[in-house]
Structures are given as C-alpha cells and as structure tokens.
Amino acid sequence: MSRNLDLRNPLYALPNQLRCINSRKGQSSVESIIANGLPYSRRLHSHTSCVNALAFSSGDGRFLASGGDDLRLRLWDTHQDDLTQPSINLHGATGNIFTIAFSAQNRYIYSGGVCEAVFRYDISTLGETPVSQSPQASHFDQEGSIRSVSCHPFNEDIVLSASEDGTVVRYDARDSDTRTRRWRRDASESNTSALRLKVELASALYHPTISHLFLTADTRGKVCLRDERMIFGNSSREENGGIVRTYNTKLTKRSVQHLSNPEVSSVAFDQDGSRFALTLQHYLPTIYATEDPHPIAVCSGKIWPNGEPVTPGQKSYSNACTMKHGSFGSLGTNSDQYYGAGSDDFCAYLWKIPSISELKDQRKEINPLDWWTKETSDTTAFTDGFSQPKFIPVDLSRPHCRLTGHISIVNSVEFHPQFLHVATSGVEKDIILHSPTPGSPCTRDLEPTPTEVRALPDNNEEDRLSYFRALFGAFSEADRDENRTISMFDYIVRQEGDRNIFEIRKWRPDPADNEDEEPDPDDDSTDANSSSEDDTTYS
C-alpha cells in the first residue's frame, strides 16, 4: 500500500526505524547493523533489457528512477510497505537511456541517451492526480549521445547536459527558446547557453552546494572544475572555458617509458561537495578532495571484505568493459562515508572512505629525482608530467562489502539517501535492491543474496557470434533475449578485462593544455588527446 505523501515536502517524518539515526546511540546502532554488509536483497522485475541508469529522488528518496535499453523510464515508490513493482512508466526516448536526474525539489525528472535529446517530465503531481507519461519538454540541442544530465542544486528550472559531441548545454525551463529548438553551430545565431569542447564528454556535474561550479570530464581523461559565470554569462567568454581547477589524472610507472591517461566513465560528488570520485576505465575508482588537484585515494579490491587477500586467478574489482556510474552514500550515518561502484566481475563494491585530512596525511608526494630511487618499478603514481612531482594516493584495498546477486556486469550503484538500501543494475534486466536486514520501511521478507558469483565461461562460438552480430547491427529479435545479451558481454569481458592501461591509453600532450613536455617519439597512439587547436568554443 502506497502512502499518499507530497514528494516535495522536506519535513516528511521518517519511519520509526530511522528516527534515531541522528543521535549518538542511533549512529552506533546503524553502524552495527551494516557492519556485515548488505547480505539480503530483492530483484525488481519490470525492464526488458539492460538497465543503464538509476537515481533516487532528492531529499527523502521516495522514488527510484530507472532507465535503460528498453527505452522506458520507471519510477519505483519506496513509500510502499513492500516494494515489488514500479508505480509509473514514462516514455519518450527513441534510443537507449544512459542518464537520469531529479531536480532539486523533485518537480522534474530528466533523462538522456542515444537519441541525442534531453527529456523533461513534470512529476510534481505524483500522489495527487495522474501524471502524463510523455515528456513535458524535449531538448534537441546536441548531436551526440547524452552521457550525463545534472540538475542545478537549488533552481528547479536549470539543468546541464553533456554529450559525446563535446557539448555542455545549460537549459532553463523558464526560457521557451531553449525547449524544443535544435542548437545551431553558428554562435552568432544562437542564444542557447552552450560550451563546446573538441573531445567527447563523459560528464558535466553541478557542485551540490556551490551552484556556479560544475565538473566536466572527457574521454581523454581531462577533469576540470569550471565556473558557469565565465561561460554562460554575458562577459568573460574568452576565459579558458571557465576553468578554475584542473585535476591530475595521468598515471606513471618507473617501468614504463610513457604516461597513461585513463578514460573517465563518470563523476560523483559527495553530499557537501568536499570530495568527488572518478570511475576510470581499465583502472580504479579514484577519490579527490575538490580543493586539491591531486588524488587522495584509490579504491581497489586486493583484499576481500573478510580480510583475506585476493589470490592470483581470482577476480575482483575491474572496470574495462562498460560505462560505470558510482556514487557516494551515508548508509544511515551522518555523512557520505561510503562510495560504491559496479564491476566487471559481476559484483558491486562499497568502500568506507576515511576523512580528507587522514587521506592527505597518508598520501605520498615524491619529487622527480627521488621517484627513481625510492619506489619500486611497479608502483603506480599520478603526475602532471614527466618532470613533475609524483603522487601516490592511499590504496583502500579492503572494501567494506561486496554486493553479489548479479550474473553479469554491474554498471550502476545508487545509495538510498535515508534508508539502508543500495540499488544496483547493469547488463541484466533486473535491478537488485540490497539491504543489511530482511525487512525495512519499504520491504518485507527479503531473501539472503546468493554469495556464489557466476564464473565467466570459457571462450565459445556463441558468445563471439553474439558480439559480432551486435557490432554490425545484425541483431535479430532472438538476439535481444537476456541470455544472448549476457553471452555477448561475456565475450567482451574476456577480450577487454585483462588489458593493461599503460598499453592501451598512451598519453600524448595536448598543445591546448600548455604542457611543457615532449611526446614520446615511439608513441604512435592516435587518441583524442592530440590536438593543435584550442579546444573551447561558446554559443
């Protein structure tokens, strides 16, 4: 039975089970509850193919939104006594959905994906009158798949989107000129607020408390904090794309003669914006203090949550095959102490993140000369250049817990903002809702999650055929079966999972970045890092 409550009411009283969380006794109780992880779960059935994106509504997290390859946006109401089915299905997308966001006070849901459009749904009447299942507005201002949408932290009407064509667009629902018009590339003819970079974008994300700041991350590994007043205002358009800080994302090893720049899959802030995390393809989730350009921690899985080391041949955290979306969460504590990310080993991982000051104290900074004498040849560090200092962030090698239950790659991990739940999704058509206990304010009689993880099968012809049919667009209706999809991704995991980041992502300096380093003469890579043009235009 659903409780008919105003979604936007910030004064909604939490259920009895969680009313003591903010007390010292309540904090101690919650920490004891989650000490052994989240061993119970339920599969949420409704989607018919991969679920690429998850998002909980702002504030009390009443709604979980999910979207994916079946082109539908589902809303799951956590104010039900026993959550099993979505409350409403929204449509409008004509291509796979990659990203979802709720506005600050939950008036709108935004989604984006392959169809190169941002859709806005007005859900302000949920619980009162029927909600239209079609989008209220559609924005067609970009010419590439939408990789992220991010809502302004305070203003209901403003949202940023980032796309694979390198464009960041700021929409304002109060401006009718930006609702349905396609953005024109001639800046003199367009009044759309847009920033165009000459590289594919992975994310544009508003800072959660400082509303004029946002992060951008691109597929060449460049991550920047930008000031939108320098970009979308009437002045200062020549000021380097509004960049106020660039973060150190390049990797180095003594045993390798070149640097590497991992591709960024996604970016996530914690609730007050003091930290953010990057999911890096072929590398580890990396934690930054927002005010510091150098990373303070990496999240690995070298040690199992029970303290046993991972032995050679065992699979643990890996991100090589799909776009991962990690997130911070509190799990009922007073701050976002936890970070979660999906993995190619068919699990999700949650790490407990120490304080910024503690991580900074433990991080190593090594001058370039000492680098060649004080560290082993296999030590990986971050650096801004060959002759720059090296930074070795703290390795959080023992996750707090490992979330099982999936039978293929996990792409998205979302923490409920109030309840002790984590939602995960990926290549399968089901979402899994994880819990530390068999019951909660929105669930009953949860089953123990299977702890045994499906083993990746040996190479077989069917997996290979499934992959190449998808690659060349020759999918039949039979190929859309979930088993065929899983078979295809099994092939991808085998091909991509063990590749070395230094072999596949050789960094080359970009003249637009004013680097003082020369490229490796033996480096024949042709990735998006090399450009002789300025990488920023405006409209």
Three-state DSSP state, 214 = strand
Indicate whether 434 pLDDT > 90: yes
- Tokens standing for 364? 């190593």
Q: What is the mean pLDDT of residues 180-187?
A: 34
- Has residue 44 been placed in a domain? yes
Whole-angstrom Cα Rg for the chain: 23
Cβ burial of 184 (10 Å; 0-12, 13-18, 19+) is middle
- Position with higher pLDDT, 175 vs 13: 175
Structural domain boundaries enclosing 261: 36-458
- Has residue 236 been placed in a domain? yes
- pLDDT single digits (tens) 330-367: 998 888 999 999 999 999 999 999 999 999 999 999 99
- Has residue 516 been placed in a domain? no
Predicted pLDDT at 98: 96
| H-helix segments, 443-509 | 461-471, 482-496, 501-504
Predicted pLDDT at 523: 42
- Has residue 12 been placed in a domain? no
- 156 and 506 in contact (C-beta within 8 Å)? no
Q: How many alpha carbons fall within 13 Å on the CB side of residue 339?
A: 25
- Position with higher pLDDT, 297 vs 517: 297
Distances (CA, A) of 266 to 98, 280, 406: 11, 8, 21
461-471 vs 482-496: helix axis angle to the nearest 10? 100
φ/ψ of 489, rounded to 5, equals: -75, -25
- 324 and 263 in contact (C-beta within 8 Å)? no
What's the one-letter identity of residue 487?
Answer: S
- Which residues, at least 6 apart from 458, have a Cβ–Cβ distance to it below 8 Å? none
- Tokens standing for 322? 């799909």
- 423 and 325 in contact (C-beta within 8 Å)? no
- Tokens standing for 416? 């409920």
What's the one-letter identity of residue 154?
Answer: F
User: Is the Cα torsion angle 221, 224, 230, 232 positive or negative in sign?
Assistant: positive
Q: Which residues of 332-348 are buried (b: 16+ CB within 10 A; e: fewer)?
A: bbeebbbbbbbbbbbbb
Three-state DSSP state, 420 = coil
Q: ∠ at Cα 456 (451, 458), nearest 5°?
A: 150
- pLDDT single digits (tens) 400-426: 999 999 999 999 999 999 999 999 999
- pLDDT single digits (tens) 57-83: 999 999 999 999 999 999 999 999 999
Among 377, 272, 279, smallest CA distance to 334 is for 272
Indicate whether 170 pLDDT > 60: yes
pTM: 0.87
- Which residues, at least 6 apart from 175, have a Cβ–Cβ distance to it below 8 Å? none
- pLDDT single digits (tens) 382-406: 999 989 999 999 999 999 999 999 9
Predicted pLDDT at 281: 94
Distances (CA, A) of 387 to 217, 259, 514: 24, 11, 14
Q: What is the 3-state secondary structure (H, E, C) of 82-103?
A: CCCCCCEEECCCCCCEEEEEEC
Indicate whether 144 pLDDT > 90: no
- Has residue 522 been placed in a domain? no
Predicted pLDDT at 463: 67
State the residue for tokens 């991580």.
Answer: 359
- Helix/strand/coil percentages in the chain, nearest 5: 15, 30, 55
Predicted pLDDT at 165: 92
Q: How many alpha carbons fall within 13 Å on the CB side of residue 282?
A: 19
- Has residue 14 been placed in a domain? no
Cβ burial of 301 (10 Å; 0-12, 13-18, 19+) is buried
- Position with higher pLDDT, 510 vs 383: 383
Q: What is the 3-state secondary structure (H, E, C) of 315-382?
A: CCCCCCCCCCECEEECCCCCCCCEEEEECCCCCEEEEECCCHHHHHHHCEEECHHHHHHHCCCCCEEE
Predicted pLDDT at 73: 95
Three-state DSSP state, 110 = strand
- Position with higher pLDDT, 406 vs 313: 406
Average pLDDT of the chain, as a whole number: 84
What's the one-letter identity of residue 25?
Answer: K
Three-state DSSP state, 200 = coil
- Has residue 45 been placed in a domain? yes
| Per-residue confidence band for 511, with pLDDT thresholds at 50, 70 and 90 | low
- Tokens standing for 42? 């339920």
- Has residue 372 been placed in a domain? yes
Q: What is the mean pLDDT of residues 446-453?
A: 96
Rounded Cα distance between 123 and 108, Å, is 6
Three-state DSSP state, 262 = coil
Residue 369 CA, chain-centre distance (Å), reads: 36
* Percent of the chain at pLDDT exceeding 90: 61
- State the CATH number of the domain containing residue 453: 2.130.10.10
Rounded Cα distance between 113 and 116, Å, is 6
Q: What is the mean pLDDT of residues 258-274?
A: 96
| Per-residue confidence band for 470, with pLDDT thresholds at 50, 70 and 90 | low
- 447 and 433 in contact (C-beta within 8 Å)? no
What's the total number of domains in the chain? 1
Predicted pLDDT at 508: 79
Distances (CA, A) of 521 to 194, 216, 249, 387: 37, 30, 22, 17
Q: How many alpha carbons fall within 13 Å on the CB side of residue 20?
A: 10
